[in-house]
Structures are given as C-alpha cells and as structure tokens.
Amino acid sequence: MSGNTILYVEDNEMNRKIVRDLLKRTKYQLVEAFDGEAGVAKALEILPDLILMDIQLPKISGMEATRRLRAEAATAGIPIIAITSFALSGDEQKAKAAGATAYLAKPYSPFDLLKLIRALVPEA
C-alpha cells in the first residue's frame, strides 16, 4: 500500500462515514474492517501505517484485536489509536496495556483525530 494507509476497524457505519469524510481531502488512504477478527486479518494482509481500533466490536473486542496485532512481528510496531464510546475510568490504561499507542474517547472532534493521525503518521 502507499505510505499513508489507515485501517479503521469499526462496526458502526456512521462512525466510519465521519472518518471517511474527514480523510477524503487528505493524502491518507482508508481501508475499513467491520469486526475485530476482520480487522486483525486485514492488518496482517495490508500492513497499514496506522490502525484506528474501536474497542466495542463484534467477534473479538478491539482490546483483544490489539493484543493479537502486537503479538505478530509484522504488525507489532504499527501505531494503534484505540477509540471508545464507553469511556470508563481506567479504560485508557487498559487500552495502553493491550498495546494501543494512543486513546480517544467518543464523542471526539474529527479535527482532534486528524491532528493525532498526523502526529503519528505525517502525510507524505
């Protein structure tokens, strides 16, 4: 893939649309997966530059998907931003313990997300 590929693992179409629209005018290329298992498989297949990982996912959780990606040599170093709408005390620590590089609670400003993406993977 290019040097700007982002994998977004999210089961909610509305959330995916927001990120799709946000990245439309950037040089980032967005690839989507709809559940944790598909997210892990897609990440191993395309080796994206960054992963946006929802925590509440069907099949396997975003936490478990993150742990699996960290356990694979090919994906161990890819930055992962954990995103959750059920931000509870301690969730950020749990996400980081699972291997997330950064953490964002919904609702978030799309511009804050873009700033975080650019900080981790500058646009080429």
Q: Domain containing 46 — which CATH number?
A: 3.40.50.2300
Q: How far apart are CA 96 and CA 80, in angstroms?
A: 10
pTM value?
0.93
Structure confidence at residue 106 (pLDDT): 82
Query: Which of 85, 86, 78 shows the shortest CA–CA distance to 102?
Result: 78
Q: Please report, as a single letter, which amino acid is at residue 99.
A: G
| High-pLDDT (> 90) share of the chain, % | 78
Average pLDDT of the residues in 11-23:
94
Structural domain that includes position 18:
5-120
Structural domain total, the chain? 1
